[in-house]
Amino acid sequence: MNPLNVGLLGFGTVGSGVWKVLNRNQNEISRRAGREIRITHVAARAEDGSFARAQEQCRSAVIVDDAMKIVRDPQIRIVCELIGGTTIARTLVLEAIAQGKHVVTANKALLAIHGTEIFAAAHEKGVMVAFEAAVAGGIPIIKALREGLTANRIEWIAGIINGTSNFILSTMRETGASFADVLREAQARGYAEADPTFDIEGIDAAHKLTIMAAIAFGIPMQFDKAFAEGIAKLSSDDIRYAEELGYRIKLLGMTRHVAGKGIELRVHPTLIPAKSLMANVEGAMNAVLVKGDAVGPTLYYGAGAGSEPTASSVIADLVDVTRMHTTDPENRVPHLAFQADKLSDTPVVPMAEIQSGYYLRLRVLDRPGVLAEITHILADQKISIEAFLQKEAASGETEVNIIILTHRAIEKNIYQALAKIEALETVKGKVTLLRMEDLQ
């Protein structure tokens, strides 16, 4: 068969990796796809240096600075969008679909915010949208959810899906260093951006979780309803206390179907058992744990970012689209994560209604009766204690840290209890709250 022509939009870290891997492994990729996949055009920008890099590396492709020219080129069958962002990328993707072209994208923010619109347009036009690289880099989690686990009713998904945050938390635990110090190290190593907000505030993870929840539960992309709490306020004390109690803290994305309530959609620092496989995912690595009703728990682990790991997923999508493109257009199943015209109206559960275990750290006066007051308030809100840890006061100090782990409770009850606890004369300052999951 003739080669299938691809237009590559963006020649940054991922775009250059796609070019490199596709050319290095061209024979094997062509064998698996059934025909050659050829990048014939590349869109890049002069101002960030990518245009010059593309000219140097992509000698067999046409290099342009106007991505729309590629999108509207009738010889291009697949548009590979690796620009990022939610403005220009949205315009280009929707135009590509309108032109009848298939789309491969690694853009998690675009899909989390505009995915429902994009998939509806693709469904209407009868083209495919593939996005394996949008979640967890080189880990094939989208394919696992869409295909490998298709017989299962997904019960929940828990993911360490931001490598920057995982590197920071792992290093804080290993070294005892502060968040600020480790963030600077992460930036020096290239794990964190100069502006790390999306990573450390849980926004990047919430984008990815939104996509996985939509695939798993057949709901629209609803990033605006996802709860995101980051790691910037975590102290090395909390990481150490969690370790003493048999837990480790990870920035966890959690989505769960709760019968009679809806879908939980939340990202936050979470205590998980130190002996669990997820707790031992260290450095910048990612992992996703999926619980299906038939298969039980399945774990997917690997590099969540980087040039070639992400390129691996992009090219896997190109192969999938190429295979589908060569079949009978009248009978093929659209390469979509869910049917855009058959989305569930299952609601997203408000955070006040979710249930979790809780880690509470309190600074209290070191005198008799304090714990009794606190446990009485918790009991009134139907919150039971699983474990308790009191640290000795330093010489000359009159205040101590108390750490309480609770059994599963409704979040609104926790906050009602904390309001009363913080009002006690014996409790000093705000209570630190972290959530806990046993991942069972």
Which DSSP letter does residue 145 get? I
Amino acid at 376: H
Which DSSP letter does residue 134 get? G
Q: Residue 39: enclosing H or E segment and its boundaries?
A: strand 37-43
Q: Which of 101, 208, 250, 291 is catalytic?
A: 208
Which residues on neighbouring strands pair with residue 410, listed in sequence order? 355
The CA distances from residue 202 to 160, 181, 191, 229, 341, in Å, are 11, 19, 15, 6, 30
Contact 248, 242 (CB under 8 A): yes
Contact 19, 11 (CB under 8 A): yes
Closest CA to 64 of 100, 84, 101, 39: 39
Buried-exposed string 255-273: b where 16+ CB fall within 10 A, e elsewhere: bbbeeebbbbbbbbbbbbb
Respond yes or no: is residue 412 known to be catalytic: no
> Hey, what's the torsion of the CAs at 344, 347, 348, 350, to 10 degrees?
180
- Alpha-carbon distance of 132 to 139, in angstroms, equals 8
Contact 230, 274 (CB under 8 A): no
**Cα atoms in the Cβ-side hemisphere of radius 13 Å centred on 267:** 30
Q: Phi first, then psi: give them for residue 233, nearest 5 degrees.
A: -95, 0
Q: Which residues are catalytic?
A: 208
